[in-house]
Structures are given as structure tokens and as C-alpha cells.
Amino acid sequence: MRMRILFVVSVLLAAGTVLAQAYRWVDDDGIVHYSDRPEEGAERVFLPSDSRVTRRVAPTPVATAATRTTDEQATEPAAFKYESLTVASPAAEETLWNIAGILNVSLALQPELQAGHQVRVYFDGNPQVVTSTSFQIEEVWRGVHNLQAEVVDANGKLMIRSAPNRFYVQQTTIN
């Protein structure tokens, strides 16, 4: 019992040291990351040592060789971003009846598909490139199927990906 208490106290004391330094950065995809180790282009975030402290301290950038000047940042154009991509049809968990092997697919993309960008669809894990957000997939037979879509730019960089969509196809049996 005494060892447990000693262990818990030492962990709590060490936690204050571990949480003393934190770094924040945004990657090329616009995702914010936090770490206890500095990354290139990261800014240091000062964490309060006492959770009751209410004042905020502005983060200071970590100096790196790749740090850009303010003029370089001002001339760089803002990267284009899609807001949303969803599989509108077939709906998630929908059961389709007697489709004769032809699946009509409709994607909802905001804003609309940009010039040079492509839609890649994964039907049951098999990728195929389509030319618009409404299309047909042939040879879709009864069973459980999965559909997911993504938009890639001219260089093949992933711009946005939909959530996976599971649906079912049923066929009426004639006796």
C-alpha cells in the first residue's frame, strides 16, 4: 500500500514537469497538432502550472531555419479547401431492392469540384476515378457493400474524403 501511494505521488509530481512545455503547429492539410516536442514551424504554448490561473499568455513562435518572413507569408495565396463531401445516395445503411446490377451514386460536394481535381471512389475497397459527382457503378449484386469517395488535386494530393458508407442490395426471389 505504501508503495502505491509513493508511486502515485511521484507520478503527480512528474506530470507537472511533463506538462510544462507544449508546442502547436498546423500541417499542410490544415490540421492542428500539439506535442511536447518542438516541430519545425511550431509555436510554443505556455500552459498554466495551476489550473485556477485564468490569464492567457500569447504563444511565441519557435525559431527555425525554415521560418518565413512576414512579406513572404503575405504574398502566398490561401490554399483552397473543400468544406464537405458526403455520399448522398445511396444513404448509409439503406437497403436497395432489385437494382438490376446498376447502382446510381450521388455525392454532395461543397464547394463544387474545381478544375483539375478528380473524384476517386472506392466501391468495396476497389478504387476508380469518376468524372462527376453523379455516376453509375455496374455489376452491383445483392449483399453488403461499402462506398467512400475522395477528391484529389492535379498532383494527387488528397483534398477531402467522405465518411465510409455501408448499404445493402436485396433481390426479390421468384419461386
Give the pLDDT of residue 51: 46
Give the pLDDT of residue 94: 94
- Please name the residue that has the C-alpha cell 455501408: 166
Is residue 129 within 8 Å of residue 64, measured between CB atoms? no
Which structural domains are found in the chain, ordered by start?
2-75 (no CATH), 84-170 (2.60.40.10)
Give the pLDDT of residue 45: 74
Give tens-digit pLDDT for 67-93.
555 555 555 566 788 999 999 999 999
| pTM across the whole model | 0.54
Cell of 50: 495551476
Give the pLDDT of residue 170: 94
Give the pLDDT of residue 8: 67
Give the pLDDT of residue 67: 53
> Would you state the torsion angle of the CA atoms of residues 88, 91, 95, 97, taken in this order, to the nearest 10 degrees?
-10
**How far apart are alpha carbons 134 and 72 in whole angstroms?**
40
Query: Buried b vs exposed e over 24-63: b needs ≥16 C-beta within 10 Å?
Result: ebeeeeeeeeeeeebeeebbeeeeeeeeeeeeeeeeeebe
Give the pLDDT of residue 56: 52
- Which residues of the chain are modeled with pLDDT < 70? 1, 8-20, 46-78, 175
